Structure 1
Amino acid sequence: MKALIVDYVSDIIEKELKELGFEVDKEMLPTSEKLAEIIAPYDLLVMRVDPFIDKNVLDSAKNLKAIMVGSTGTNHIDLEYAKEKGIEVCNSPGQNANAVAELVFCKALDLYRNSYQAQHEIKEDGIWNKYRWIGRELRNKTMGIVGFGAIGRRVAEIARVFKMDVVAYDPFYKPQNNDFDFVELLDFDELCKRADIITLHLPLTPDTKNMISDKQMEEMKDGTVLINAARGGIIDEEALYKYIKNGKLGGANLDTLADELGSGGLDTQDVKVSSPLFELDRVYVTPHIGGSTIDAQDDIGRVVMTNVKKVFNL
């Protein structure tokens, strides 16, 4: 049997696949077209969220029996067509929840404590002035969590330790299932009005695209900050630019952008990206690193290998 790994994943996966008798090859982040060219011999595909697995790829995958996804989302795969082709798709839900949640608080603290600007002034300008960068604490602020799945719930737990008030919105989360007595479930508009920090943990769908735009930003408190460690496109970036530029919002810390693969749309490393948001001092950006910890990837790797053994009866 042959396995193809097309993204950075835990070493656990390659090691255990070889122990099970798989011949393992790697092709880091091929385009969909490139993957279609090379996929034919493989029984197993191991990936994260790139590239898009379309009909062309699946038609080319003559021997493929399973796709193991080292992430929660599977909207980058044509699931219906994969099912028609008899290809099983297994994801790894919830395994990166703590990693993403920890990054949320890193991002919130960077915005609240002005750490980027303070460091830049010291390292670039050689100026040491502790009085210029008076910040704020998370304590007694309201954390608004949009999307109350595994990541959102972990964010709530950590927010509680910071002594924050916590409100959440999720159209699919039933109030009777809420085990968090310190979390108040609100409708989306009310959450936008009440939260000091809004953090997003939703998939990108037609319903969630640009769900935070002019109307929502206009109704937010002055100084509200936005954190997106979910998917680019959930925040309307043109509106975000406008409301940070005019001082209505206190800033944004983004782990993802609407055009994070660049204008060429290539599924590759070291993509060149640009955005008007980069001009703004109160916008910080990281390159979609929310789940990128050794710990989370090892947890995902164990789930992937459990699923491999089930699918291949090993």
Structure 2
Amino acid sequence: MEGAFAVLVLFVAMAVTSVHCQAGTRVGFYSRSCPRAESIVRSTVQAHFRSDPTIAPGLLRMHFHDCFVHGCDASILTNGPNTEKTAPPNRLLRGYDVIDDAKSQIEAACPGIVSCADILALAARDSVVVTRGISWQVPTGRRDGRISLASDTANLPGFTESVEAQKQKFLDKGLNTQDLVTLVGAHTIGTTACQIFKYRLYNFTTTTATGADPTIDATFIPQLRALCPENGDGARRVALDTGSPNRFDTSFFSNLRNGRGVLESDQKLWSDASTKAVVQRFLGVRGLLGLTFNVEFGRSMVKMSNIGVKTGTDGEIRKICSAIN
């Protein structure tokens, strides 16, 4: 098993590094200027994860939310009124302290060299690794942006959106349908709040006996209602991947097939023919060319992490990640 795992890790590295990295990012960007940068981020993520496992999905989502607004430039990290961090889609994100911790250690070792945007990209990869996913090589060389506005977060995909709307938002960022399904697969780890999906459980429709969203498996509805009573605490957290919420695996896609997707937008990936085909390939459905989720996730993450990056003399290297210089 260990030998097979090592071969898979090598295959992931080869597959991911074959992805064309645009706008000047490259693997090993800090190999001479700050050779300990990646190991510092990795050990920081590991240390925080041991005391608080929720930071892994938090960091992964934070990187996604950062890249979809102004590109991957750490704009989500800045404090202040009306910054991206204050927008409704970002208010429940976790892991800012991890980035700040890694940044302070890196600044002590290599002041003014490593961007917050790169630290976030590396931390997202390391969050997959600590939840037993496969690693990949992260191209670095991003610089930090100077603009962060809550009003610019409107183009983040929403939890009620149709597949067509989701596909368009991903296409606008240079990501295709397979990237969409693959990256949504990050919901294999982490939780969501009852207030985000509870509307699916009560009075969603008058055409079913339960009144719940008919795409939800009938045996799953009582479980969700027990976790999220109609007049209960909307802030209560529920696993996005029933069965293995702390492990990076393909059970999230099995749940979609079984009508157990918690978010409406996630479950819709099974009802649309174009996205369902990708889900089936991750599940190894007979008659379809199989895909290895870990390999494809690393590949799609490299593509996503190069959206609108700032390199060269564009942007800046922040002294602290929560404030523009």
* TM-score using structure 2 length: 0.26
Structure showing the higher strand proportion among its residues: 1
Q: As a proportion of its length, which structure holds more helix?
A: 2
Return the structure number with greater relative CO, CA threshold 8 A, min gap 6. Answer: 2
Instruction: Give TM-score scaled by structure 1 length.
Output: 0.27
Larger radius of gyration: 1
